[in-house]
Amino acid sequence: MTEPTASPAPPLSATARTSLGRRKDRAGTDRTSLHEVLDAALICHLGLVLDGHPQVLPTGFGRDGDVLYLHGSSGARSMLAAGDEPQVCVTVTLLDAVVYSRTLNDHSMNYRSAVIYGRPRVVTDPAEKDHGLRVLSEHLAPGSWEHARVPNAKELAAVTVLALPLNEASVKARTGPPADDPAEYATGAWAGVLPLHQQWGTPIPAPDLAAGIPAPPHITDRRT
Amino acid sequence: MTEPTASPAPPLSATARTSLGRRKDRAGTDRTSLHEVLDAALICHLGLVLDGHPQVLPTGFGRDGDVLYLHGSSGARSMLAAGDEPQVCVTVTLLDAVVYSRTLNDHSMNYRSAVIYGRPRVVTDPAEKDHGLRVLSEHLAPGSWEHARVPNAKELAAVTVLALPLNEASVKARTGPPADDPAEYATGAWAGVLPLHQQWGTPIPAPDLAAGIPAPPHITDRRT
């Protein structure tokens, strides 16, 4: 993703909700950590308040500098609600391992997560809307913008693009082995980490794909 | 996870928010689909309304029949808030593939997701609290409850267990290849699916693990 070329961005704001109430040792608020977590994830979970109740939906996103782009059908309820610029919470989670401790109580997960709060604006400028969709596309399917047909006017009209500034956010992570009290060694239980990996499989051509069209390198060489 | 042994559960309630506003073809409301999605996922995203604003946090869960168990430190803000029995939204998402279409507009994801709404109750009965923690443990680290030291009284007091009935929920999924309009074949673009796999790696012993304690089969043989 593109980094901002202007002067360095200010630190992320520390508000009550981004100042973690507990496990402060797992907290980070620097932009580099935030960008790394966002760029390593494919989807986010978008939280909204609808009729006073929480709603959480998985959705794609893309990042350009300190702006997060989200998109959806112009008819989707969650996007319409967000279009009124209410508060949203966007959470991204990468699960890296299960941590096996000598005690159940100290079992844990290794993970990286980011929580972003803000009021997204609906992107109305045609050039920025096109740009936002390209940023989303490059995140979810890098290389496709050059390879497939880009959106036409009718398709553009049917999609809503939202821009959420990365101003208020927190990053949390756990890494490394379990940390058992030596008094627990006597349990004799195994302790350690079981890593969880994500990887792309072999591309499966569509049944209606004409013969002689190989999967291009941006798909066959894709790395998680 | 344990299936209920009593008479079959009623169908999931169809409320305004679980009746999808669009893409009804991707919707399911049967309990079998819901259970399959929940059992295949490791973590969920828990949505709450705090001070009128949405908050979405990743957390572990476990399922026993038609009850979802969640847990957290008794001091965690989100759990305290949920302990007042406000509405929550629990969303589980499994990402299976990226769908490459001949057009950017029809690029998509293959996925399975479940969205559950409800008011969780704080589990106060000691036997159910113990049971809920065991259900959580069996989901996140199957086999550990028999292998590691179970929680003692002090540890039990420091954790809050929530029980959320699976009454109001929806399941959504997309599978299969892209569905391009034949008019788009002329683009010559590749079309198909790039599967995304999750798999466990090799267990990494803790640095403080005594020699001669091999990783047990419930860890070495774990399957996603």
pLDDT-derived band of residue A85, with 50, 70 and 90 as boundaries? Answer: confident
A134 belongs to a structural domain: yes
- For testing contact with chain A, the best of B37, B55, B56 (most A CBs within 10 A): B56
**Exposed e or buried b for every residue in A99-124, given b needs 16+ CB within 10 A?**
bbbbbbbbbbbbbbbbbbbbebebbe
3-state secondary structure of A182: helix
Tokens of B82: 């949920």
Residue B30: per-residue pLDDT = 86
Residue A19 inside a domain? The answer is no
Q: Is residue B208 part of a domain?
A: no
Q: Does any domain span residue B141?
A: yes
Contact (Cβ atoms closer than 8 angstroms) between residue B39 and residue B112: no
For residue B216, tell me if it sits in a domain. Answer: no
Q: Which domain holds residue A203?
A: 24-180+191-220
Residue A22 has pLDDT above 90, yes or no: no
Find residue B122's DSSP bridge partners: B162
Q: Do the domain assignments include residue A13?
A: no
d(CA A13, CA A137): 29
A135-156: burial string, b at 16+ Cβ within 10 Å, e else: bbbbbbbebbbebbbbbeeeeb
Q: Domain containing B86 — which CATH number? A: 2.30.110.10
Q: Which helix (H) or strand (E) holds B217?
A: helix B217-220
Rounded Cα distance between A107 and A18, Å, is 25
A–B: how many Cβ contacts below 8 A?
293
In order of A56, A213, B80, B130, B133, the CA distances from B127 in angstroms are: 31, 61, 21, 5, 10
Return the pLDDT at A23: 56
B49-79: b (≥16 Cβ within 10 Å) or e? bbeebbbbbbbbbbbbbbbbbbbbeeebbbb
| Local structure of B25: helix, strand or coil | helix
Q: Which residues of A touch B24 (CB under 8 A)?
A: none
How far is the C-alpha of B121 from the C-alpha of B62, rounded, in Å? 15
More confident of the two residues B38 and A12: B38
From chain A, the residues in CB contact with B109 under 8 A are: 42-43, 60, 140
Check residue A24 and give its pLDDT: 55
The 10 Å Cβ neighbour count of residue A211 is 5
Q: What is the mean pLDDT of residues A121-133?
A: 95
Query: How far apart are the C-alpha atoms of B43 and B62, rounded to whole Å?
Result: 9
Residue A3 pLDDT class (50, 70, 90 cuts):
very low
Structure tokens at A144: 């496709």
The answer to whether B203 contacts A210, with C-beta atoms less than 8 Å apart, is no
Per-residue pLDDT for chain B (224 aa), expressed as one digit of tens each? 333 333 344 456 666 677 655 555 565 568 999 999 999 999 999 999 988 899 999 999 999 999 999 997 766 666 656 556 789 999 999 999 999 999 999 999 999 999 999 999 999 999 999 999 999 999 999 999 999 999 999 999 999 999 999 999 999 999 999 999 999 999 999 999 999 999 999 999 999 999 999 999 999 999 87
CA distance A149 to B189: 8
User: B122 with B160: CB under 8 angstroms?
Assistant: yes
In a domain, B213, yes or no: no
DSSP string of B33-100, one letter each residue: HHHHHHHH-SEEEEEEEETTEEEEEEEEEEEETTEEEEEEETT-HHHHHHHT---EEEEEEEEEEEEE
Place A179 in a pLDDT band, splitting at 50, 70 and 90.
Answer: very high
Query: Within 10 Å of residue B183's Cβ, how many Cβ atoms?
Result: 9
pLDDT tens profile A154-170: 999 999 999 999 999 99
**What domain count does chain A have?**
1
Q: How far apart are CA B208 and CA B49, in angstroms?
A: 42
With H, G, I as helix, E, B as strand and everything else as coil, classify residue A56.
strand
Q: Considering only A15-24, A49-58, A112-121, B80-89, which range has the smallest mean pLDDT?
A: A15-24
Pick from A38, A25, A102, A104: nearest CA to A70: A38
For residues B194 and B99, give the distance between their C-alpha atoms in angstroms, rounded to a whole number.
7
Q: Find the residue in A nearest to B139 (Cα).
A: A98
Cα A205 to Cα A148: distance, rounded to the nearest angstrom: 15
| Res. A32: pLDDT tops 80 | yes
C-alpha span between A38 and A164 (Å, rounded):
13
Chain A neighbors of B144, CB-CB under 8 A: 100, 104, 107
Average pLDDT value for residue range A71-75: 73
Please count the residues of chain B: 224
Q: pLDDT (tens digit, 9 = 90+) per residue, A52-72?
A: 899 999 999 999 999 999 997
Residue B97 is assigned to a structural domain of this protein: yes
Residue of higher predicted confidence among A51 and A93: A93
Q: Select the residue of A103, A190, A193 nearest B213 (Cβ to Cβ).
A: A190
